[in-house]
Chain A
């Protein structure tokens, strides 16, 4: 799986958009970009994933650059409850046991301030 690089921490004001970047310059053609978050030692929570098109769901938007070497997770109106560690994970689409493993890096600690 491709490695990812994320800033260790970011701050955001409550109500503003939070834009979390992720670099994955070695991503290959069949690898997806996943985002999970972990709120203070709770179980990680799935947010969104994409291959090459931008994606949006009720939680967030995912913008993937045309060359797919980087992506941005956007929380449109951050709240205090969005304070968490956000993980960007790149993994392939192949099926099979070891391919379902999620490799978590250090992630970005997003702090939403009142």
Chain B
């Protein structure tokens, strides 16, 4: 079993729909990242969370440390949101390396017009 699990693996939506991607992890963490990877490969960091909730435009990320769970929500989805969304955690035992991340397998999101 992977230490970081995402669901669903694939998600198809119609433009305008509200989307939720989930991430569960089995270890103690000090931070969780949500990343976006577009076709062609480039990765963009969307959020870094250690508690609570963050919002940026139509994107909202939440984390529940006690339940070891995070969600990424996209409101009013748009075809340009089509990408792979990856959850990554920095374990509490990661020492002094902030970038020593463990990644989920990614969620492929396709938004149709």
A and B interact physically:
no
